[in-house]
Structure 1
């Protein structure tokens, strides 16, 4: 049985180009996931991502709404992405055999809030209804496939410190800024089948009020792994001056997650640095 290899791109904020595509072309992942905030509503970038030649899943973030309260830009983004957008739905492929479920689109974190744009497109939806949609989508994933939940902002319940995976870091006091509907959905799912992996972005790795970094890789007591992929900016240089590009990376064997990491590649796809989740590391939640 060969491993399934999944590349995950954190918040792009417009930073995507030929170097990123060249790295993917060399790595040839089985699927590519985008956790939102592709840009501030730049439809050209959305179209470019939608045309990538890989099994693809995208969840749109708050910046993708383009400051358009009418929902017009959101509708255009959704039309360009088609079935690649997984908000409140299941996205799966026969090959690779992965079941992927999307959370609430357009999230800005902070508990539960529907923007005017999201309401214009999807209608008024309560916290309970949002959680119900996520749970129903997850129920359709075959048990012999990995179950990945993908959202723009992660769930509440992962800590309330500034460096927590979804901790508010831009002003005091530090609070849990995660999505409550996603947390409720994950709790309900955990009674039947906990997800193997929950991947999200939104809360940037570099903290706003210090030089510290956010905690971004962890596993809970049910065995679910959590990954915050929002390394912003995604490109830079290391201490030796070498250009680096960031992707997060997950590997599965059967339905089991066997590897989860942040990776920094050279433009010719050489792995230069890696931060891996220890397999037995658990958090008290």
Structure 2
């Protein structure tokens, strides 16, 4: 299970709950997670509780299932590159190129035969500059690309060694401001990497029949390859109520002679 950040405004309840989950998890903290604290104290407490579950600028991996997760810059607010004061207090000052270097270095540690997932709070630049783009600014005119420059730089560098299978992020809510529509949440670039925006806000709600629902972005791998990406809404008993398939890899046609 991957968490794309903005768990709270510095509250530790959800962090403690994640700590208790009996399954492999990886977390990247978002710009809201350090609250209004610029000293880094709140951020340090969260990082201490999460331990190696937090993968900012680092590699998290499991053998069962075999998957490598590389974290991008923690606590990003999008908009190019801005290092939050809390992040500077904990990790020290850093340039956009140095941040990209750290992401690339973590990716180089990943086993080459395993699927590579990049986990970020904000997605990279380069996915479009319209309000409905995966990282498009929708709260102010004109709309523009609000992605992270360091993540885009890191992806360019990583592609020289291998192709990331999936980049998953949040931050930019699916529903656009002022009820102007919905965001495009899944795209595949010309290299074959799939980009997934998982920021369905709020995650819990109800349908027209009054049934309570909980949203998850869902990804499946088959034989080490990304095979399906979807948004799914589950009922309280964990049964699937709705599914929106966003990406599905074509199955090669097998013929017999």
Please report the TM-score for the alignment, with normalisation by the length of structure 2.
0.95
CA distance in 2, matches of 1:127, 1:175: 20
> Aligned match of 2:146 in 177, 196, 202?
177
**Deviation string, structure 1 residues 38-95 (Cα, Å, up to 9, x no partner):** 0001112211111111101000000001110000000000000000000000001122
User: What secondary structure does 1:83 align onto?
Assistant: helix
CA distance in 1, matches of 2:42, 2:74: 13
CA distance in 2, matches of 1:119, 1:270: 43
User: What secondary structure does 2:247 align onto?
Assistant: coil
Q: Is it true that 1:108 corresponds to 2:68 in the alignment?
A: no
Unaligned segments of structure 2, at least 5 residues: 251-257
Aligned length: 250
Measure how far apart 1:274 and its partner are.
Answer: 1.1
Q: Is it true that 1:53 corresponds to 2:2 in the alignment?
A: no
> Aligned match of 1:233 in 188, 191, 202?
202
CA distance in 2, matches of 1:230, 1:44: 20
Q: Is it true that 1:64 corresponds to 2:15 in the alignment?
A: no
Measure how far apart 1:185 and its partner are.
Answer: 0.5
| Larger gyration radius, structure 1 or structure 2 | 2
**Deviation string, structure 1 residues 135-172 (Cα, Å, up to 9, x no partner):** 11111111211100000000010000000000000111
**Deviation string, structure 1 residues 1-56 (Cα, Å, up to 9, x no partner):** xxxxxxxxxxxxxxxxxxxxxxxxxxxxxxx1100000001112211111111101
Measure how far apart 1:280 and its partner are.
Answer: 6.0
CA distance in 1, matches of 2:223, 2:159: 19
1:98 match = 67
User: What secondary structure does 1:250 align onto?
Assistant: strand
Measure how far apart 1:271 and its partner are.
Answer: 1.1
Which structure exhibits the higher relative contact order, with contacts defined as CA atoms closer than 8 Å and separated by 6 or more residues? 1
2:174 match = 205
2:214 match = 245
1:19 match = none
